[in-house]
Amino acid sequence: MQEPASDDDDPLFFVSLPASVRESYVFLARKAAQRVTALAHEALGPFGLTLRHFGVLNLVELEPGQNQRVVGARLGIDRTTVVAVTDDLERAGLLERRRGKDRRSFALYLTPVGVAQLKQLRKLVDLAQEDFLAPLAPDERDTLRELLGRLVA
C-alpha cells in the first residue's frame, strides 16, 4: 500500500487531530485555503502559471492600461513580485507592457493570445473551484461566499 503524499492526503488526518485543532477557525481557514490553492495550481501548472499570474491577467483584462504598480497593489502583491509576474506573462506572450503617461511606468494590456488563454484558464479554475466546493449544496456555497466576503472586507 502506497503512503499518502502528505498528512493532508490521509483521510484520517483530520479526524485524528485533537478537537482544539479541528475546531480552530484559523486552522480550518488555513487548510481550506491550502486545498483550494493546490487545486488551482494543479489546473494552472501545465501552463506554467500561478494564481498570481491568473489574478494579474484578470485585472488587466477588466481594466486594460493599468500600470503594474496599481495591479500589484490591488492584488496585494509587492512591487518586486508584480514585476516578476509581469515579466513571466510578457515572456509567455500573454501580456504586453506599453509606456504609460509617466515614462517611468508601464501600462499593461493582454495580447490576443492572452485573451484567448485567459478564457481557457478561467474554465480550468472554475473546475478546480467546483471540485473544492463539491461537498456543499448550492445554498451553502452562497452562504460561504457571503461569509468569506464579510471576513475579508
pTM over 0.85: no
Q: Is the separation of the CB atoms in 75 and 52 below 8 Å?
A: yes
Q: Is the separation of the CB atoms in 106 and 82 below 8 Å?
A: no
Confidence bin at 56 (pLDDT 50/70/90) = very high
pLDDT at 10: 61
* Contacts of 83 by beta carbon, 8 Å cutoff, 6+ apart: 68
pLDDT at 62: 96
- What is the tens place of the pLDDT at every residue in 105-151? 889 999 999 999 999 999 999 999 999 999 999 999 999 999 999 99
Q: Is the separation of the CB atoms in 89 and 48 below 8 Å?
A: no
Hey, what CATH topology would domain 7-132 get?
A: Arc Repressor Mutant, subunit A (1.10.10)
The string of DSSP codes covering 40-96 is HHHHHGGGT--HHHHHHHHHHHHSTT-BHHHHHHHHT--HHHHHHHHHHHHHTTSEE
What distance in Å separates the CA atoms of residue 5 and residue 108, rounded to the nearest whole number?
A: 39
Which helix or strand (DSSP H or E) is residue 110 part of?
Answer: strand 106-110
- What is the tens place of the pLDDT at every residue in 2-50? 333 455 556 666 677 777 887 888 988 998 999 999 999 999 999 999 9
pLDDT at 2: 35
Sequence length of the chain is 153
Question: Cell for 67?
Answer: 500600470
pLDDT at 134: 96
* Contacts of 61 by beta carbon, 8 Å cutoff, 6+ apart: 110, 114, 115, 118
- Is the per-residue pLDDT at 92 higher than 80? yes
- What is the tens place of the pLDDT at every residue in 21-33? 878 889 889 989 9
What distance in Å separates the CA atoms of residue 86 and residue 110, rounded to the nearest whole number?
A: 11
